[in-house]
Structure 1
Amino acid sequence: MVGGSGPSDRNNDRCFPPIRRHLVSAGLAVLSYDKRGVGGSSGDRRDATMEDLAADAVAALDFLRAQPGVRPEAVGLFGHSEGGWVVLRAATARPGLPWMITNSCPGVTPAAQERYALAHALHLQHHAQQDIDSSLALFDRLVEAGRRDATFTEVKQLVESAGRKASLADYWADVDERLWEFLKHKQDHDPGPDALRLHCPHLAVFGGRDPLVPVDESIRLFSAWACHPDRHHQATLTAEVFPGANHRIQTERGTRLAPRYLSTLTQWIKDRTPLDS
């Protein structure tokens, strides 16, 4: 299990434990780990590229495969949110992978996903349309600044000259020089090439009311990649949307996992790796 963005530990901020418990009770061995620089892991996540994070996932995969009582040919990958991009990249390094699950993983780039999340949040906060438009325009300028490798001093001046919009506070508040360097090199990551190189069945899970991910667009993109003539014939796609669920596939204001979510994960995995063989 690979966690999402930010300083995610092995529990992915309490998101993973109930999923782990259910999978273990169904007879599956589960491994999740602290991201670089978090919990018991060395290094720094802000220095890590997608290749680095995928290499960590592959190392975890190989470690689990080597454990006594674990059938190595049955072990797959589960990635939540940003972790979905990570396992897509990791899967390309292990062509014999039997299955892969992405959980609330955007099919769009990080920049497009962040823009969608910002627009959604501003509408929920009932900002005036003029303020929403100007905030998104400023966000677009920051993305373009990242593409031309602008320094943190330059973008800080850009934000200050725009009046440090309160509506952009959630996105910009914690950005410092080091985080800016990380964000600008990550912002245009395209999951498409990795999806096209898949050799295994893919389950893409989404919450129907995810405020962070453009679900319709993500499903459209994953479907297009699954139908591409260059895609391996074993790389089937199953998309599951849980109505009313959020980014963590939770309902009832985030108090419980969506009905059928855990059973769907378990049954889908069992259908591809029979546990009695």
Structure 2
Amino acid sequence: MKRYFTSLLLLTLTSSINAQDLKGIWVGTVNLTGMEPPEVAFEISANSAGQLRSRMHIINQKVFNIETENLVAAGGQLKMDIPAMSTHYEGRLINDSTLSGFFLMKDKRKFSFELKKRDALPVAAQKRPQEPVPPLPYQEEEVTFENRHAGVSLSGTLSLPTGKGPFPAVVLIPGSGPSDRNETIFTHKVFLVLADYLTRAGIAVLRADDRGVGKSTGNYESATNEDFAEDALAGVRYLQSRKEVNPRAIGLIGHSLGGEIAPITAASPDVAYAVLMAGSASDMATAYNESITAVGKGSGASAAAIKVNVRLMDKVLEVIGAEPNDSIAKIKLAAALLPFDKEVAQLSARDREIMELTQPLHAEEFYPFLSGPRRADFFRNQAAILQKVKCPVLAINGSKDVQVLPAQLPRIEKALRDGGNKQVTIKLFPGKNHLFQNAKSGLLAEYPDIEQTIAPDVLAYMAAWIKHRVY
């Protein structure tokens, strides 16, 4: 669900350049093969003491206000980090209106481009009125905790309510894709807004950057759901070490994929409760095909296009799931796609665009399923995992969610109750999408245009449910 162009910024200037010359808005397009060229903007300003600070925007992807840290302007050079990203930029000031440089990706690919100075951003940044504005009525602390079993160090933020503790607490678990501690999705800082609301309600919150994101160590791409569950449990045990936290009242909130990871962690007796936001209890193929169908229908694809795509994904998952050898799987996958080429060719260009089907089909597009974590997904029994959870569980979904359909709610409830859990609350929120925003269609294209990050009634329900269980 994340299409963001990621970066770590390092601008190199000659010693003759005054750092203050960099103040302003710099805009340029990065030419990337195989994807929509991102239009990048750096908005550089100075605080009252004259120190430079910067924000990054990806204009055409509607990704604004990407945070930067550790900006240093000295000796003719300017450096800054963007913790949520993983790209490196180097550039030099050619004249008062041009920055020339390149992005260096983690895999060593290099993309040269120029930034031109502008009087204003090409489009206005979206408003995010729910994001907290200092001064905050609670404490925030930068923390680091260890998953010693995996040798991973996780960097995060702990929010502590005002007043006398010890407080109940929660560890937040984000969805799929390398996520920062705020679970930033299309400029919405989902976990920042959630943490702010819960902390104001008297619940301490720990949110952390995923493995390999920001200051967290480890490799995201090689980690399975079980690995991330260990990271979350390390967060629980870190909270147990804090005197401000009630060690018997620490729970989890998992969103999307986090709603599948949380039940793995919640089997531990150290977890007091779990909230599953758009979680799942079904097998991989069912979840994929339900989403393909919902997105296709919502986007106006024909019934024929949806049917072809569902059958295609069934075949891809069947081939890869049955063949453990990657080299052989690639050969079998290419052969399995051939019969579908004629059917895809008969679809309209619009259908192919909506369903993201190339013509001819390329086996390489499905190679990500060959990774260790994705292969583990083929054989994971999510219902059996839920059956092991004995703590109180709240499972919620939005009626307009097209990524994880609300049909998952009764499946989650059945799995929990089949395991003997009698402390189960199921809640469907009408009109909400996958981010639990009030939505019209529920499609991903709406996410950035909605000012709301999480609907207030969803926030209030979760906070009340947690407090009822821990006080």
Per the normalisation by structure 1, the TM-score is 0.88
- In structure 2, what is the equivalent of residue 46 of structure 1? 221
Quick check: which one's strand share is greater?
2
- In structure 2, what is the equivalent of residue 28 of structure 1? 203
- In structure 1, what is the equivalent of residue 389 of structure 2? 198
- In structure 1, what is the equivalent of residue 314 of structure 2? 140
2-structure distance, mates of 1:27, 1:66: 19
2-structure distance, mates of 1:78, 1:206: 13
1-structure distance, mates of 2:438, 2:334: 38
Matched, 1:117 2:314: no
How far apart are 1:175 and its partner, in Å?
4.4
Where structure 2 has 5 or more consecutive residues not aligned to the other structure, the ranges are 1-171, 345-351, 440-445
How far apart are 1:19 and its partner, in Å?
0.6
Matched, 1:245 2:432: yes
Is the partner of 2:178 in helix, strand or coil?
coil
Which residue of the other structure, out of 243, 247, 272, is the alignment partner of 2:469?
Answer: 272
2-structure distance, mates of 1:86, 1:226: 15
1-structure distance, mates of 2:239, 2:365: 36
Is the partner of 2:208 in helix, strand or coil?
coil
Where structure 1 has 5 or more consecutive residues not aligned to the other structure, the ranges are none
2-structure distance, mates of 1:249, 1:176: 29
Per-residue deviation, residues 17-51 of structure 1 (Å, max 9, x unmatched): 11110011111110111222222222222211222
- In structure 1, what is the equivalent of residue 420 of structure 2? 231
Matched, 1:258 2:448: no
2-structure distance, mates of 1:2, 1:191: 17
Is the partner of 1:45 in helix, strand or coil?
coil
The answer to whether the Cα contact below 8 Å between 1:96 and 1:200 also exists between their aligned partners in 2 is no
2-structure distance, mates of 1:60, 1:132: 41
1-structure distance, mates of 2:295, 2:467: 38
Stretch deviating more after TM superposition (160-169 or 190-199): 160-169
- In structure 1, what is the equivalent of residue 271 of structure 2? 97
How far apart are 1:97 and its partner, in Å?
2.3
The answer to whether the Cα contact below 8 Å between 1:226 and 1:237 also exists between their aligned partners in 2 is yes
What is the RMSD computed on CA atoms of the aligned residues?
Answer: 2.4
Which residue of the other structure, out of 163, 181, 194, is the alignment partner of 2:341?
Answer: 163
Which residue of the other structure, out of 213, 220, 236, is the alignment partner of 2:410?
Answer: 220
Determine what percentage of the aligned residue pairs are the same residue. 26
How far apart are 1:176 and its partner, in Å?
6.3
Stretch deviating more after TM superposition (122-131 or 151-160): 151-160
Stretch deviating more after TM superposition (74-83 or 7-16): 7-16
How far apart are 1:159 and its partner, in Å?
4.0
Residues 242 and 255 of structure 1: CA distance in aligned 2, closer, same or farther (over 3 Å): farther
Amino acid at match of 2:356: A
In our comparison, the structure showing a higher alpha carbon Rg is 2
2-structure distance, mates of 1:47, 1:147: 18
1-structure distance, mates of 2:380, 2:214: 26
Stretch deviating more after TM superposition (188-197 or 164-173): 164-173
Quick check: which one's helix share is greater?
1
Is the partner of 1:270 in helix, strand or coil?
helix
The answer to whether the Cα contact below 8 Å between 2:396 and 2:409 also exists between their aligned partners in 1 is no
1-structure distance, mates of 2:393, 2:254: 11
**Looking at both structures, which has the greater relative contact order when contacts are Cα pairs under 8 Å and sequence separation is at least 6?**
1
- In structure 2, what is the equivalent of residue 7 of structure 1? 178
Residues 64 and 100 of structure 1: CA distance in aligned 2, closer, same or farther (over 3 Å): same
Q: How many residues align?
A: 269
Amino acid at match of 1:85: E
1-structure distance, mates of 2:413, 2:234: 29
1-structure distance, mates of 2:376, 2:355: 20
Amino acid at match of 2:298: L
How far apart are 1:273 and its partner, in Å?
0.8
- In structure 1, what is the equivalent of residue 13 of structure 2? none
Amino acid at match of 1:53: F
Is the partner of 1:245 in helix, strand or coil?
coil
How far apart are 1:61 and its partner, in Å?
1.0
Amino acid at match of 2:393: H
The answer to whether the Cα contact below 8 Å between 1:149 and 1:184 also exists between their aligned partners in 2 is no
The answer to whether the Cα contact below 8 Å between 1:117 and 1:211 also exists between their aligned partners in 2 is yes
Stretch deviating more after TM superposition (170-179 or 219-228): 170-179
Stretch deviating more after TM superposition (118-127 or 137-146): 118-127
The answer to whether the Cα contact below 8 Å between 2:400 and 2:432 also exists between their aligned partners in 1 is yes
Is the partner of 2:272 in helix, strand or coil?
coil
